[in-house]
Amino acid sequence: KIFKKMSLLTNINGVPLYSTIQEALNWAASKGLSGYHTHQYQGQTGYMGGINHNQATDVMSGITPQSLNSSSY
């Protein structure tokens, strides 16, 4: 059997943590975000989409990137 290396390390607050920057960027792009940030998981650096953890968890809570950039008066 041939096993594909899994790049998903775990989920933190419902957001996937990957072993590669590219997977984190792909996830971010699929959610309308850009960039990535890091977390430590079991002694390994993991990569999460979004410029910070709040941005990543907000988008998973249904807050859109557009609403994060808009102001209401």
Q: What is the mean pLDDT of residues 4-13?
A: 85
Helices (H), the chain: 21-30, 53-60, 65-69
Q: Are 16 and 33 in contact (CB under 8 A)?
A: no
Nearest to 12 by CA among 33, 32, 30, 37: 37
Q: How does strand 36-41 pair with strand 8-12?
A: unpaired
pLDDT of residue 69: 54
Average model confidence (pLDDT) across the chain: 87
pLDDT band at 71 (very low <50, low <70, confident <90, very high): very low
The order of strands in the sheet holding 15-18 is 8-12, 15-18, 44-49, 36-41
